[in-house]
Structure 1
Amino acid sequence: MAGRGYAVFDTAIGRCGIVWGDAGISGVQLPEAREIETRRRLFRVFPDARELRPPAHVALTIEGIVAALRGQTCDFSNAMLDMSGISKFNQSVYAYTRAIPRGEIRLYHEVAAALRASGAVHSVAQALAKNPFMIIVPCHRVLEAAGAADKASQNGGVISKRRLLTIEGTRLSAAKTLLDVLLPLDPPRLRP
């Protein structure tokens, strides 16, 4: 196959898109408010992609995304991702994020610490905001703070992290804030 292909498909939360090429899946787009907006975003990011029937490995990934968005447990470990053009740091963030089990969350600083880059919390946040592989790389499982899950990622369309976590059955603790994590021993007078 020369060039990239894409497909738009139905899920429980709306019409999603997926793009692939010879090196694997290039991107996943969650639904925008309207299908035409989902397609526009795909074309903006992947202007060379043509609508095609997905090859078998992509069709299996689509089935997994559909199942995951119905709340079922899915294993995307065999999904081939095209990481060309993605920095080594972002690749390491995505690899770590792929390993976060369903039903669990991590905070940005925990990911940075696990990657031995504790000063790179902002870089972790930026990498996840640019995640082109929504659902396959479950960036919705990484939060700024345990109760802060209302942001959508770049390819998240109108779907918030909170909604994706709810679909997975993950409960968030609104009591655990970023200050609770970073300043657990501070006297109460210093807290807002």
Structure 2
Amino acid sequence: MLFHLFETNFGTCAIGWNDIGLARVQLPESTPAETEARMIAANMTSAPATLPSFAREARDALLAYFSGEAVAMEDLVLDYSLVSPFNALIYRALRGVPRGEIVSYGDLAKEIGQPGAARAVGIVMSKNPWPVVVPCHRVIGANGKLTGFSAYGGVDTKLSLLTLEGTQFGDTPGLFDDPFFSEE
């Protein structure tokens, strides 16, 4: 499998691919070297200068996304054979959640016909090999709070991605809303 590093408005990202399609999307780590190290740790090799068309399309879509453009990524080719059938089912369903929208873990579980599988959906989100392309940042807790995000920066990165998309949370409780901290 090959990978390509590229600069975005959010930092150095990477895409990895094989003959079937995208194998991985890497969001920025704290340094470009750490982003590259993540790809190498995933048994990928740095790519030659010329990218296959589907990898170039993915890179260009991510560049546009991180520049704030509304980009359709549903047609980017992913190699679902790299994940379990259950994970693939969830990732495919999640790709249908539009930019600027959010969904709960429980609602996503219901969407795939597994209404009791909210925790399993959360575990699958933490293993998403294609963040942004498979928009795991759009999945929130049942209470409307932003919960875990496994990319560098955690929930702050998740919030940055949602803000970039113009997601409105309305009356959703904030990250640190807790009756214990109430001033009343």
Q: Normalised by the shorter chain, which TM-score bucket?
A: 0.7 to 0.9
Q: TM-score, normalised by structure 1?
A: 0.83
Aligned AA (1:52)? P
Pairwise CA distance, 1:24: 0.5
C-alpha distance after superposition, 1:66-122 (max 9, x if no partner): 111111111112211011231111101101110001110000000011111011111
Does 1:22 find its partner at 2:19? yes
Aligned AA (1:172)? F
Does 1:9 find its partner at 2:6? yes
Residue ranges of structure 2 left out of the alignment (5+ in a row): 175-184
Does 1:84 find its partner at 2:70? no
Give 1:61's aligned residue. 58
* CA spacing shift, 1:76–1:86, aligned 2, 3 Å: same
Give 1:70's aligned residue. 67
Aligned AA (1:31)? P
Give 1:122's aligned residue. 119
Does 1:157 find its partner at 2:155? no
Tell whether the 8 Å contact from 1:29 to 1:157 is kept in structure 2 after alignment: no
Pairwise CA distance, 1:147: 4.3
Structure 2: distance between partners of 1:121 and 1:150: 13
Q: TM-score, normalised by structure 2?
A: 0.86
**Aligned to 1:15, what secondary structure does the other structure show?**
strand
Pairwise CA distance, 1:139: 0.7
Aligned AA (2:67)? R
**Aligned to 1:160, what secondary structure does the other structure show?**
helix
* CA spacing shift, 1:152–1:174, aligned 2, 3 Å: farther
Residue ranges of structure 1 left out of the alignment (5+ in a row): 178-192
**Aligned to 2:81, what secondary structure does the other structure show?**
coil
* Runs of 4+ deviating beyond 4 Å: none
> Which of 136, 139, 143 does residue 136 from structure 2 map onto?
139
Count how many residue pairs are aligned between Structure 1 and Structure 2: 171
Structure 1: distance between partners of 2:173 and 2:60: 35
Tell whether the 8 Å contact from 2:141 to 2:147 is kept in structure 1 after alignment: no
* CA spacing shift, 1:146–1:34, aligned 2, 3 Å: farther
Tell whether the 8 Å contact from 1:106 to 1:143 is kept in structure 2 after alignment: yes
Structure 1: distance between partners of 2:172 and 2:74: 33
**Aligned to 1:169, what secondary structure does the other structure show?**
coil
Does 1:52 find its partner at 2:48? yes
